Structure formats: structure tokens, C-alpha cells
Amino acid sequence: MRKLTQLFIFAAALFSICSHAQPRTAFVHLFEWQWNDIASECENVLGPKGYAAVQVSPPQKSVSSSQWWSRYQPVSYAIEGRSGNRNEFASMVSRCKNAGVDIYVDAVINHMAAGGRYYPEVPYYAEHFHTCYGQIDYGNRWQVQNCDLVGLNDLATEQDYVRTKIANYLNDLTNLGVAGFRFDAAKHIPVGDIAAIKAKLIGNPYIFQEVIGAPGEPIQPSEYTYLADVTEFNFTKSVSHFFKGRGPIKELKNIGTWGGWVASADAVTFVANHDNQRQDTNNTITHKDGDNRNTMAHVFMLGWPYGYPKVMSSYEWYDHDQGPPAHGASSCNSGWLCEHRTPAIANMVAFRNFTADEFRVTNYWDNGNNQIAWGRGGKGFVVINMEGNNLTRTFQTGMPAGRYCDIISGNYNASNKSCSGNIIDVDNNGNAVITAYYRNGAAIHVGAIVEDCDGTDCCTNCPTEKVETTFSCSNGSTYWGQSVYVIGNQEELGNWNPAHAVKLDASAYPTWTGTIELTQNTDVEWKCLKRDEQTPSNGVVWQGGANNQFNTGTTNAYPTGSF
């Protein structure tokens, strides 16, 4: 089993003397992406940003249907489907490997598609399946591991014939260069059967198993950790609870240590996966949550030393079954969300890589509510502010003295040591004055140091002077669940994306107001906007007429708009 933390610490120690090589410590799920688009993404984004691997959708031939879940109804182990053919898959694996990015295949090995128990392309016949068809009682171990899961034909994985067919499929993928596997629905396969299948595999692929634990159930993730890593669903539940505002995020300071959790070295963590973001949206952080919650939850996951984190990158959906957009994902528009490209998320991948050999929390601070900060042993420091006002204070970072790029507010350019965002100065005592805007954060690490250039800053925009701007939208009558937002042509105003607009306060209803810090002397175009709080694409009403315009100047501004 791959013990990630220990491997990363060893790798960092091994290379620290002779090179600047950094371990890769986080991966991404490019859900329903096509093979050619993934190859390009590895070369142009994932490799340069430091992602370790991509989890790809199941590549085997499945039922012909548009729903996303059709990929989890295999009819054979041939490499073909809507993501591309076998040659394109092999090319993707090779191109990603050349970019330093591994491929993890989502392997459906518990079952075959619903329907008759006959799959001539494998071949599987009726005798290769269990014969329990009823609804599963999850308090009954035998039923969980021998009955059809939501009508999908359950393979008799205790049979050597079935184990060999599964192993042949996985070995074929390994021969194509695949580096690892996610075992879908592993909870529904006895751990001894998985051990027997694993014993037939060639090489030493990385494996993580989908095992959803629940209190009182007989099957728990801890049974499977001796074989390989497991998915830690407690992590996604806890992070979602607190980042949805159902409790102060300072409670997360002990995450991973609570009873029943998988040890960090055995855990794959995620803010959301392709299942729970659709099936349990109300209790799972997704892009549908406003106030920058999805991004900041990922910042927390990538900054906190627990588990092997997986970034979820999906597409827009309006119902549970909706399949992916018909066109490719590489352009990241018209439905494709590409959360992994969000600068704060992508830049935190480098943060995790550069702090891997300090896999611990130091210099922890919180305000007793929704503002937290922590260090990583002098290699990095993170601040998260999920309250409705800006946070500025002096932090003891534990970092060496220097000028650092805030990778949440901008991108770091390693070639000339420049920064497009804010610069954070750490003094000789490790102290730094850090500002984290509301529903936002700040982060620095030793891989993003800005040179002084003989007294002239090398950053392209540092430090950025801000001015408080108080927006007002009148006549903002709304229905229950709908609110008024400000939206505009600045990043702080959502760049005209309703999902990223800034919610205003309704204390003077139907006039809504809110104060936002914008860059000084900047021409701003903006409008008032109504939308649903939970689903940004619903209930959308734009302020009529031309865009409102003003310049922020150097003192506080008070722009007004009206529906």
C-alpha cells in the first residue's frame, strides 16, 4: 500500500540537497473528460501546476446511454466509449506520463450492467453472478456483498474465473501505462476477494478503494486499509458541514483525529465526489454553493495535513442523471466547470507539494468562529476567512524572513520570481501582516518567494492598494430563497459569472447593501442581480439598462443601482 505521507517526506529529503524536485501530493478527478482533452490538460495545466495524477472515468465499454451513471454499467472490458477509443486512451496515458502526471482508472469490478446475466464479450454467464436480487439491508453483511447493487448484476468475485477476468482487465490497463486504480463499490466486495484479485496484478499499481462507512454497519473502511488506501467519506461530510455555515470552521482543527476515522496515511480525501455532489447536494459542498465556499473548502483540504487529497472537477448539471456536455472540456466553457483550474485551488497544489516534508500543523490560530490560520512547519502558512468582513492582523507564521507571493490572490511566476497578486512580507521574527478578504483567504509557501531586485519589487502588481466600495441596490424585492447580489467586470465581483457574484445584506430591505474592497483607480462596470441562493442559475433577474460605471479612485466609493 502506498503510504503517501511517508513517501513524500522521504522524497523531499532525498532531493533537497541535490535539486529542487518536489513530490506531487494531490490529484484531480476530471469527471467525464475525453481522453484527448485529458492529454492536453496534463501537458498545459496539470503538469505545470504540480498535480500528481488524474482519476479518469471508467474506460471500459458500457451501456449506450447519455446519463453519467451509464459509465458504471459495463458490458465488457474493452477500452471504448464516449471518452474515446483504445488508441486515444493509450496516447493520453503516454502524454500525461511525459508531463509527470499519472493516470488512475476508475475500475468497475463489483458488477456488470443491469439486465440479463450474459456478457459474451468477456465472457460472463449466469453462473458467474450471485443470485440475490432483493433490496439490500446495509445492516446485513452478506446482502451488501452478495446482492445486486441498485439492480446491477453482482459478480461472484469468490470464483477464480471471475477474479482472473478482472485481473486481466486491470493488467491490460497497467500494460498501457496506467499507474493506479480506484476500486468502485469496494464495500460490496469481500476484502478477501479483493486481496485475491490484487495478488494477480502485475507491477505495483497504486490502489484506493471506495468504502463508505456508516455508524452501526458491519462493514467499515478499516477492514480494507491493510490492502490499500480507502476513501474517507467522513472528511467530505465534515468539511461540507462547516463550510456550508452549519458550524464554525474552527471546529475543523481536530479533523482526522476523531473516532472512526481512517489514518491519514491510508485516506483519500475530497470535498466532493461525482456521486455525493449529485445525490446529496444539500450536504455536500459544490460549485452550487455561493460565497466562494467550494473554492475555500478545497483550499482547506489542500493546506491541511491529512490524507491524499483529490480535487473534484465536474460539469454543470440541473438534474441527477444529466450526462456531460456534448463538446470537449478543453475550452472549459459551455457547461464544463474546470474547478481544478481555479487559481486558488491550482496554486494550493504547489503549496501542498512544497510543504510535504512538514506534514503537521504549527502556529495554529482561530478567532473562535469562522477565521482560522495555520502553518506547515516554516514551509507555508494559510489563512481562511469565512466571515462577512475582511480580516487583517499580524500572524506568527514560523516562516523565514522574505517577501512571498500570496497564491490565493494571484499567480506566482517561478521563472522571474514575480507575483500577479498581493505580496506578504515576513520579518526576521516570522511575523507578517496578512489580509484575508471575506469569504476568501491568503497563503504563502517557500516555493513562491519574490525577489527584491535591488529595492524594486519584481512582482507585476505589488502591493495592491485597495479601497472600500459600498454598493447599494434598491427595489430589490425577492422571494424566499432568492437574494440580491452585485456582479461586475472585476474578480472581486465575480467577473460577470452569477455563481461568483457577491451577496448583499438585506437589513434595509428592499434596499440591499454590501462593502467590497476593490483595487484603487480602477474602472468598474457592474449591475445588481437577483438569483437563487442555492442554485445560481435559477431565479436570475438582471438590473435593466446599461452597465453601471464608476472609478474606484483612492477613497471610499458608494455606487448605487436599482431594479
Q: What is the pLDDT of residues 358-399, one digit of tens each?
A: 999 999 999 999 999 999 999 999 999 999 889 999 999 999
pLDDT (tens digit per residue) in 49-63: 999 999 999 999 999
Q: Read off the DSSP letter of residue 223.
A: G
* The domains spanning 23-242+253-294+301-343 and 466-562 adopt the same CATH topology: no
| Predicted confidence (pLDDT) at residue 519 exceeds the cutoff of 90 | no
Residues classed as catalytic: 184, 210
Domain ranges of the chain: 23-242+253-294+301-343, 362-445, 466-562
User: CATH homologous superfamily of domain 23-242+253-294+301-343?
Assistant: Glycosidases (3.20.20.80)
| Predicted confidence (pLDDT) at residue 20 exceeds the cutoff of 50 | no
Query: In percent, how much of the chain has pLDDT > 90?
Result: 81
Look at residue 521 in the predicted model and tell me its pLDDT. 83
| Predicted confidence (pLDDT) at residue 105 exceeds the cutoff of 80 | yes
Confidence band (pLDDT; 50, 70, 90) for 21? Answer: low
* Contact indicator for 92, 329 with CB cutoff of 8 Å: no
> What is the reported pTM?
0.79
- Collapsing DSSP to helix, strand or coil, 252 comes out as helix
* Contact indicator for 412, 405 with CB cutoff of 8 Å: yes
Report the largest interatomic distance among the alpha carbons of the chain, rounded to a whole angstrom. 78
For residue 277, CA distances in Å to 211, 304, 562 come to 17, 22, 35
Q: Which helix (H) or strand (E) holds 36?
A: helix 35-41
Length of the chain: 563
- Collapsing DSSP to helix, strand or coil, 555 comes out as coil
Residue 242: all three cell numbers together: 462547516
Query: In percent, how much of the chain has pLDDT > 70?
Result: 94
Distance, in Å, from the CA atom of 397 to the CA atom of 382, rounded to the nearest integer, reads: 9
Confidence band (pLDDT; 50, 70, 90) for 459? Answer: very low
Architecture of the CATH domain 362-445: Sandwich (2.60)
| Predicted confidence (pLDDT) at residue 458 exceeds the cutoff of 60 | no
- Specify the range with the lowest mean pLDDT, choosing from 134-143, 265-274, 331-340: 331-340
Is residue 24 packed enough to be buried (19+ CB in 10 Å), middle (13-18) or exposed (0-12)? buried
Q: Read off the DSSP letter of residue 131.
A: -
Q: 466-562 in CATH: which number?
A: 2.60.40.10
pLDDT (tens digit per residue) in 31-42: 999 999 999 999
The set of residues, in sequence order, having a beta carbon less than 8 Å from that of 435 and lying 6+ positions away, is 390, 391, 392, 422, 442
- Specify the range with the lowest mean pLDDT, choosing from 52-56, 393-397, 482-486, 556-560: 556-560
